[in-house]
Structure 1
Amino acid sequence: MPELKAVVFDMDGTILNTEMLYPQVSTEILRRRGHSLTKELTDAMMGRPAPKAFKVMIDWHDLADSIETLHQESEEIFGDILETSLGLMPGFTELFKSILEAKYPVAVCTSAQRDTAIDLLGRFNITPELQFVIGGDNVEHGKPHPEIYLTAADRLGLSPGEIVVFEDSQTGCKAAIDAGTYAIAVPGDHSREHAFDGAQFVADSLHDRRIYEQLDLRLPT
């Protein structure tokens, strides 16, 4: 196993509870059009950049709307939900603190647009501690393509195998695995049934002791 020298987090469903909020947005969008959101559609959209996720929704229900229309509508609905429901995933605060204390460089690679990610992470004062944030709009090929994690490795000046990546979804984990990173799956209630073949291990949560052991981190007291 190569020496692990940096940490990269996915954002939605890994740092923030947004993967639990997005279905509320999709449910409302589809309700307005006489449709219901299924788990199968949620899984098909999860982890993908917004344009591709909305394309999946459009094709799934043969909607007449454009991607741009759905994106604008979702931003309005999501803004209302964020004010009351946005939060951090269990274990992130303690793990992030231990990672920073150990002097690991930390970055975020997300399918969300970079400006959106900067805004959401900034609400919890996370952004100042990061080396950089790469959004889905900063790469040509979104997850599950490995480009975003190969780009992160290049910016960190490291080989992919020297980077630990935390991902909550099958789509994101595939991107991390195919990039050659040390990928750890951290599914939430929204993604526990996903397949994480190729991940180093599937953590119970960000509290999982194995994470601390692999990174030689101080356990929270």
Structure 2
Amino acid sequence: MYKYAIFDLDGTLVDSMPMWCRLPTEYLQRKGAQPRPDLLEQIAVRTLPESVLYIKEAYALSEPPEQIAGELGEMAFEQYRTSVPAKPHVAQALEQLRRAGVVMCVASASEYEQIRAVLERLGLLDYFAFLHTCTLAGAGKHKPDIFLQSLARMGGTDPAEAVVFEDSLYSAQTAKAAGFAVAGVADAFSAANAPRLKSLCDFWCEDASRWPEIFR
């Protein structure tokens, strides 16, 4: 019986991946730089500070990292605050999980203020015991730190008692290798990796309506 649920944000709880696909490209174009085809691939596995350093160095931007981070953060925050929608059936699923006594948190590569803004606007914030980020954890999701720290903060000690919900293949691989049960979440952005994600995960969810079944 699983006791804990650790949710990714982007592509899992909210449909923000289209925004994140546009954001780095739009930012670089504003700076007069031509984004390379592998831009999204390069920053997908990095935390925000790591992504900022990559963008600065790879595109020879003159702005200091702090300014780049601030400008990107402002662009993303505005989208989270005003327009990023929840994915289908998420609110109903979270309500059922809360009634079942499942302890839930968010573990995301996005920044704390961004996560809080979108979840608060969508009326989902109170479902979660806390919000955790890769920046706070000190490592991206290529390392298990964020998942293990989240489990400990929820009061758990055994990863096998927790389910990590992820749409990202590399994040799911990290969680699985650390001993967590993993629920793969379908998302258009990661459709190319869906077959590999399905084969890796303990559960596969086309949408959030499947989530409560996992804890019964």
Q: Same fold (TM over 0.5)?
A: yes
User: What's the C-alpha RMSD, in Å, of the aligned pairs?
Assistant: 2.3
1:24-70 alpha-carbon deviations (Å, 9 max, x no partner):
22121111233444663213322532112223334544444443222
Which residue does the alignment assign to 1:187? 186
SS in 1 for 2:13: coil
Aligned to 1:165: 164
- Which residue in the other structure is 1:174 paired with? 173
Output the CA distance in 1 between the equivalents of 2:37 and 2:188.
Answer: 12
Unaligned runs of 5+ in 1: 217-221
SS in 1 for 2:92: helix
Equivalent residue of 2:190, what SS? coil
Other-structure match for 1:26: 24
8 Å Cα contact 2:91/2:124 also seen in 1: no
2:214 matched to 1:214?
A: yes
> Paired residue for 1:155?
153
> Matches of 1:205 and 1:37 in 2, distance apart?
32
Which residue of the partner structure matches residue 219 of structure 1?
none
Tell me the distance in 2 between the aligned counterparts of 1:81 and 1:126.
Answer: 17
Give the structure-2-normalised TM-score.
Answer: 0.85
2:104 corresponding residue in structure 1: 106
Identity of aligned residues (%): 23
- TM-score between both structures, scaled by the size of structure 1: 0.83
* Bigger helix share: 2
Distance (Å, rounded) in 2 between the aligned partners of 1:199 and 1:63: 40
Aligned residue pairs: how many?
A: 212
> For the residues of structure 1 that align with 2:51 and 2:136, how far apart are their CA atoms?
17
What amino acid is aligned across from residue 203 of structure 1 in structure 2? C
In structure 2, the gaps of 5 or more residues are: none
